[in-house]
Amino acid sequence: MSQKDRYAVIGNPIEHSKSPWIHAKFAEQTGEPVEYGRILGPLDGFEREVRSFIASGGRGMNVTVPFKLEAHALADSLSPRAAAAGAVNTLAFGSDGVRGDNTDGVGLVRDIEVNLGVSLKGARILLLGAGGAARGVVLPIFDRAPAALTIVNRTAAKAHQLVDQFARNAAECGVRFSGGGADSAEAGRYDVIVNATAGSLDAALPDCDDSVFGAGTLAYDMMYGAQPTVFMQHAAKLGAHAADGLGMLVEQAAESFFIWRGVRPDGGAVLRELRQTLAAKA
């Protein structure tokens, strides 16, 4: 019988998830007695799977597409960032019930600042998209004290909703905060542009004026794949430095590991190894 504490990622589909590999590396690196598996959640049976994992001694779960909203609804208590995001990617099971958290936003911010070395303090940031992925990163971005955050979305009303939801937080953090449809970007080059649209999945480029990209811009796509996304290719043609979301994946995992174990793994080292592994397979 294994003496290790059990964790798992649940999603549908799940077979290509890199989380078990990443967490195995974190366990090796930190010496924590962690065993981490993957669970294919039936589309109509998310809660049943979670309850059965808890009953069998599971300590925590990562939650991925399409269950992040259901995980938010299932949790007995929520961290402030999960409540603001309206979605949960990390569940911790304890004597006080199921605790829901969201580590995606912190994962993005850590990848940009620590792994890519771009400080968000005082930066002008453009966020493309206003769905769940975008909502989850707004507060963690404010926490880094940027000068401005603009949200641009194909459907202007959804960007306006996010601006309304987070206007008070922006004022408290002293961040200039606005948003709307495709023509709502401020004039001139942005320091950081984050693509949080689902566009890369179907190779669609989000609508956005070319003039916001420049030589000093970091263009960050939350998606990743074997090849640079259309957004990354477009940004690189306009002189920007393009990055994919693989580091965000590793850093959100590192934050989940920290929540569960109280030990922070070195995400950068695991990211370098993951990139090498993927390059060797390509």
Q: Which residues bind ligand ATR (CB under 6 A)?
A: 129-134, 153-155, 158, 197-199, 204, 206
- The smaller minimum CB distance to ligand ATR, of residues 98 and 133, is found at 133
- Residue 190 annotated as part of some ligand binding site: no
CA pair distance 228, 243, nearest whole angstrom: 8
Sequence-ordered list of residues with C-beta below 8 angstroms from that of 109, at least 6 positions apart, any chain: 120, 137, 140, 141, 143, 144
- Residue 97 annotated as part of some ligand binding site: no
CA pair distance 61, 67, nearest whole angstrom: 12
- Write the burial class of residue 173 (CB in 10 Å: 0-12 exposed, 13-18 middle, 19+ buried): middle
- Tell me the closest approach of the beta carbon of residue 202 to ligand ATR, in angstroms: 6
- Tell me the closest approach of the beta carbon of residue 101 to ligand ATR, in angstroms: 17
- Residue 104 annotated as part of some ligand binding site: yes
- Residue 158 annotated as part of some ligand binding site: yes
- Residue 153 annotated as part of some ligand binding site: yes
Closest by CA position to 66, among listed 34, 42, 101, 97 = 42
Residue nearest to ligand ATR (CB): 131
- The smaller minimum CB distance to ligand ATR, of residues 247 and 265, is found at 247
- Tell me the closest approach of the beta carbon of residue 136 to ligand ATR, in angstroms: 8
Pairing relation of β-strands 192-195 and 218-221?
parallel
- The smaller minimum CB distance to ligand ATR, of residues 46 and 93, is found at 46
- Residue 279 annotated as part of some ligand binding site: no
Examine the residue annotation and report whether 68 is marked as an active-site residue of this protein: yes
- The smaller minimum CB distance to ligand ATR, of residues 89 and 265, is found at 89
- The smaller minimum CB distance to ligand ATR, of residues 129 and 140, is found at 129
3-state secondary structure of 275: helix
Q: Which residues are paired to 94 by β-bridges?
A: 97
Q: Which of 4, 25, 68, 121 is catalytic?
A: 68
- Tell me the closest approach of the beta carbon of residue 222 to ligand ATR, in angstroms: 8
Annotate 134-147 with DSSP letters as a single string. HHHHHHHHHTT--S
Q: How far apart are the first and last CA of the chain?
A: 37
Do residues 229 and 197 make contact, with C-beta atoms less than 8 angstroms apart? no
Do residues 247 and 267 make contact, with C-beta atoms less than 8 angstroms apart? yes
3-state secondary structure of 247: helix
Output the known binding site.
Answer: 17-19, 64, 89, 104, 129-133, 153-158, 222, 224, 245, 252
Residues recognised as catalytic:
68
Output the known binding site for shikimate.
Answer: 17-19, 64, 89, 104, 224, 252
Output the known binding site for NADP(+).
Answer: 129-133, 153-158, 222, 245
